[in-house]
Chains A and B, each alone.
Chain A
Amino acid sequence: MAAPDDHELPARPRRYGRGVFLATVVAGASSLAWGKPVWSRISGQIGGAEALVPLVPTGGWRIYTVASTMPTFDPTSWKLTIGGLVERPMTLDYDELRALPRVNQISDFHCVTGWTVNNVHWGGVRLADLLHRVGPTAEAHGIQFVSAEQPYVDSLTLKQAMLRDVLLAYEMDGVPLAREHGAPLRLIIPEMYGYKNIKWVSEINLVPKAEPGYWEQLGYDQDAWVGASNGYGQKEVRS
């Protein structure tokens, strides 16, 4: 039983309902200014939302696609062609791709919509190495990646493509790239937002100039530097 003086609280009802409502709305709206840094600190310590909610195995990833179905990878018929303005055009099947000199890399993956996956372990081929094999001609200043997910396409400048941590990745976190992550091959350019990290790469063409890709035709920046493009941070000229 409660102490009798509990009943001697002021009899006038308090308007706590609107207080709870307004406090929640204000806290939520203000989180637009602090949500991401706070959440990345927390999730860095506990290992992501699935540590709290084991039923939700996202691994921090969201799967963004633009076509009605995801491409299916068939190892027996899959081919990668590298052509356009090159001295030595190439066509690789999956075994030939896996036989190329392999690099391992740990890098963060940033999506332009705000989510980030830290310390992803990639295995694949350095794009610069592959470009040395095919030999871009003097007119080639852009490189176009065609996805098997039509009509997704995007390009880098040749200079961007030669950055040391730009990979064509066929492994993620120790296993062959999963279908939803672009099996069997995706581009990884950690300095740029996810939409430049083309999934299901099936064709690479050296071209005179980098052309706007799928999302860029819808208004996204062609040079998608993390933290310095698409309305984030100071726009700077890096290429």
Chain B
Amino acid sequence: MSRPTAPGYVRRFSRSERVLHWVNAAGFFVLLASGLVLYLPSLATAVGRRPVVKDIHFWAGIGWVSALVLVALLGDRRGLLRTARELDRFDPEDLRWLRGRRPAPQGRFNAGQKVNAALTAAFVVLFFVSGLLLWLGERDTSFRFASTVVLHDGLLYASVVLLVGHLYLAVIHPATRHALRGMVTGTVREDWAREHHPRWSGSD
């Protein structure tokens, strides 16, 4: 599976993993932008065309989740399942890491990345369900709950907080931002991997 990597580099993310990540990111940003136009009075006033923005938001949501499912089905399924198991499992070092104890040598994913992955996946499910309920509720009262909009808004706030932390670590924080290269090209520097993910063999 692993293609040749440049000397001094190790492969961290497969093509399927990267496609899944960027499909998720792209969908999220389209939904965030169109959602904020629907949500913030100042943007709603400046942009107008609410029926069109609503359609964009709705179909972006359908497209987002469909694309994620398609990547999971058509991509390297076994590899992705392996990754999911990796993300699922917290060993004693992970628990030490979460409690802020150091050293706590980490595998390919550190415990924070595992929590982030679990929350992100849960947010996708909840965004999709609550969004669908908002859409259906506009058409049939049996799908209408007074709290759907509270859930959808709460997810917005929670996911933006998560995203800001994620972007800080991936783009700004000097020690960790090399990880972005891994998500773009698939490979990271061997010495960086040894320092941040010492228990990861780098053979995946």
A residues near B, CB below 8 A?
A: 2, 6-7, 9-11, 13-22, 24-25, 28-29, 31-36, 39, 49, 52-53, 56-59, 61-70, 112-115, 179-180, 218-219, 230-232
Contacts and interface: CB of A to CB of B under 8 A. Distances in A.
A53 B156 CA distance: 12
Given A17-B114, A28-B122, A36-B146, A68 B151 contact: no
Given A32-B151, A68-B48, A113-B134, A21 B41 contact: no
A62 B155 CA distance: 17
Given A25-B122, A53-B157, A32 B145 contact: yes
B126 A25 contact: yes
A96 B157 CA distance: 45
Contacts of A10: 92
A57 B122 contact: no
B95 interface: yes
B146 A232 contact: yes
A106 B153 CA distance: 26
Nearest to A111: B149
B73 interface: no
Given A15-B89, A58-B39, A61-B41, A49 B50 contact: no
Contacts of B96: 2, 6
Contacts of B1: none
A52 B156 CA distance: 13
A64 B92 contact: no
Interface string B94-105: 111000011000
B144 to A, nearest CB: 5
Contacts, number: 152
A18 B52 CA distance: 37
Q: How large is the interface on B (under 10, 10 to 19, 20 to 34, 35 or more residues)?
A: 35 or more
A56 B161 CA distance: 13
A230 B151 CA distance: 20
Contacts of B39: 58, 62
Interface in B9-52: 38-42, 44-45, 48-52
A112 B149 CA distance: 10
> Considering the complex of A and B, which 6 residue pairs feature the smallest CB-CB distances, nearest first?
A231-B141, A35-B147, A24-B122, A17-B88, A13-B89, A20-B118
B137 interface: yes
Nearest to A215: B138
B143 to A, nearest CB: 8
A169 B87 CA distance: 56
B144 A232 contact: yes
A41 to B, nearest CB: 12
Nearest to A229: B141
Nearest to A70: B48
B142 interface: yes
A17 B11 CA distance: 23
A176 to B, nearest CB: 15
A114 B118 contact: no
Given A20-B115, A29-B126, A231 B50 contact: no
Contacts of B139: 218-219
A29 B129 contact: yes
Given A6-B96, A6-B101, A17-B118, A180 B150 contact: no
A121 to B, nearest CB: 17
Contacts of B145: 32, 114
Given A18-B88, A63-B44, A219-B139, 20 more contacts: A2-B102, A13-B89, A15-B89, A16-B90, A17-B84, A17-B115, A28-B130, A52-B157, A57-B42, A58-B39, A58-B40, A58-B41, A59-B41, A62-B38, A63-B41, A63-B50, A67-B51, A68-B52, A114-B148, A115-B149
Contacts of B41: 57-59, 61-63, 180
Contact of B117 (A2, A17, A66): A17
B147 A32 contact: yes
